[in-house]
Amino acid sequence: MTSLELIEGLQILQTHYAEQHGYTICCGHDVIYAYATDTPLSNEEFIRMKKLHWYQVIDSADVEDEEYSPDATWRGFV
């Protein structure tokens, strides 16, 4: 993931948080986490997020899901 992909992904997610200038992100080792958004992304935004190398993990096996889940956290490897 490049810095541009990181920034663009966060900008897409930002519009879906109730507190657009105060939402929480965190990191662990080489992953940045953005919590589930308050409103769902459009299909076009979901596709763009995937192209920007952001992904969601739906189950506990840490398997990337190809389908969008509005309740899942977004992750980006840096």
**pTM, full prediction:** 0.82
List, for residues 48-73, the tens digit of each pLDDT value: 999 999 998 766 555 566 788 999 99
CB-based contact 33:13 (threshold 8 Å): no
What is the average pLDDT score of the chain?
88
What is the C-alpha to C-alpha distance for residues 55 and 72, in angstroms, rounded to an integer?
Answer: 10
- What are the domain boundaries of the chain? 3-77
